[in-house]
């Protein structure tokens, strides 16, 4: 999922540099959503590992 976030971020940066504002805005929005989903999943994973007594990554 982090790979998709980076991909959409790169697409947004390239589209923004070339002047395609619609594509850049859409790609940046998708990248932002995927980033926060990834962040929430990472926090949940760390909490589950701590509750089970394992060391987090």
Percent of the chain with pLDDT over 90: 0
What pLDDT sits at residue 22?
83
C-alpha distances out from residue 36 to 5, 45, 57, Å: 10, 14, 19
Domain ranges within the chain, ordered by starting residue: 2-52
Query: What is the pTM (predicted TM-score) of this model?
Result: 0.63
The per-residue pLDDT for range 12-24, each reduced to its tens digit, is 888 878 888 888 8
C-alpha distances out from residue 29 to 7, 23, 39, Å: 12, 10, 15
The pLDDT confidence band at residue 27, using thresholds 50, 70 and 90, is confident
Q: How many angstroms from the chain centroid is the CA of residue 29?
A: 10
DSSP 7-35: HHHHHHHHHHHHT-HHHHHHHHHHHHHHH
């Amino acid at each position: 999922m982090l790979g998709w976030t980076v991909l959409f971020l790169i697409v947004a940066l390239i589209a923004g540099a070339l002047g395609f504002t619609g594509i850049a805005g859409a790609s940046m929005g998708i990248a932002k959503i995927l980033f926060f989903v990834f962040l929430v999943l990472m926090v949940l994973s760390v909490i589950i590992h701590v509750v089970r007594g394992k060391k987090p990554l």
